[in-house]
A and B are shown apart, each in its own frame.
Chain A
Amino acid sequence: MKTIENEINQNLMPEESLQIINSMINAAKNKLADDGFHLIFWGWLVTFCALTQYITLKLNIEWGGWVWMLMPLGGIVSGIYGHKQGKKQKVKTHIDSYLGFVWGGFIIAMAITLGFGYAHGIKSTYFFLMLLYGLATFISGGILNFKPLIYGSLFSFAFAILSVFLGEIDQFLCISAALILSYIIPGHMLRSKFKSQQHA
């Protein structure tokens, strides 16, 4: 882009003004706000835990539940990554802000569901977790205008419904499938789009 330096306004034509406005607005608009890291990271981590729990329950191994202790560790990794990214970020778009509220609300709802959902039985906890996965990715997909995330979110809704008809152990398979289709696959697609934009 040519250097914008001059202070003399008399020669600035309306067409040039519009050109400046267009190019500056597009500079911010075309920036993809999410690199997909959190979707991929949490997708794989929770899928790993859910599958480990499923296998250990099937094999009558008692320690399976301990695998969920990886969650706080994941929170730390995610927090550090988010903090580092925040430091690098030179501009905050409205999209960044909306996504922050969506996922902030998601974390609160998740904590409440995990903390108090058992009052209605563990099955309803998993049901609500999958609804939350779907809701957060559906809204994020809409905000980012990224269709794979919107379509992916529909699988979480579908698996939430399916989970109602399955036994408790099979809920872990539902969670894994929901995460693979709603988080991991769209997350990798988002990351590759983000990276291709970085190199463009």
Chain B
Amino acid sequence: MLKELDPLLHSQLRLAIVSLLVGVKEAEFTYLKEQTNATAGNLSVQIQKLKEAGYIEIEKKFKDNYPQTICKITTTGIKAFEQYVEVIQNYLKPKK
């Protein structure tokens, strides 16, 4: 039934990550972890998948000698998200 939906976004955690990043300029890994309540391991795996698809950019740097991961949505990611929302809306439209 939902075959048209982007399989990469049709996952609770990845959809949550992209939805969070759509609304902000950039977010730290810890922020995504707090908002999604996901485990660090699972979140790492999912952001890596989104990065490989070109949906997000990941920047690794140091803040006060601690490693910091910053995630940012790309134009491809925004387009994919918009398309996903459009498909979802079509599914939710009342059938004639």
Contacts and interface: CB of A to CB of B under 8 A. Distances in A.
Interface of A: 1-7, 9, 12, 14-18, 20-21, 24-25, 27-29, 87, 90-94, 96-97
A5 B35 contact: no
B31 A91 contact: yes
10 contacts: A3-B37, A9-B10, A12-B12, A17-B84, A21-B19, A28-B20, A91-B28, A92-B25, A92-B26, A94-B24
B82 to A, nearest CB: 11
A87 B66 CA distance: 12
Given A21-B19, A27-B20, A92-B25, A4 B37 contact: yes
Contacts of A15: 92
Interface in B38-69: 38-39, 42, 63-64
Contacts, number: 93
A interface, over-half SS: helix
Nearest to A22: B19
B30 to A, nearest CB: 6
B80 interface: no
Contact of A4 (B13, B23, B63): B13
Assign chain B's interface to a size class. 20 to 34
Contacts of B23: 24-25, 27-29, 93
Given A20-B12, A25-B22, A25-B23, A90 B28 contact: yes
A16 B10 CA distance: 10
Contact of A5 (B13, B24, B85): B13
Nearest to B17: A24
B24 A93 contact: yes
B27 interface: yes
Nearest to B2: A14
Given A6-B12, A17-B10, A17-B88, 10 more contacts: A4-B13, A17-B15, A18-B88, A24-B23, A24-B36, A25-B23, A29-B23, A87-B64, A90-B28, A92-B26
Nearest to B26: A92
B11 interface: yes
A16 B11 CA distance: 10
Nearest to A8: B11
Nearest to B90: A14
Nearest to B87: A14
Given A14-B88, A24-B19, A5 B42 contact: yes
A97 B26 CA distance: 10
A14 B12 CA distance: 11
Given A7-B13, A17-B15, A21-B15, A28 B28 contact: no
A91 B10 CA distance: 24
A14 B3 CA distance: 12
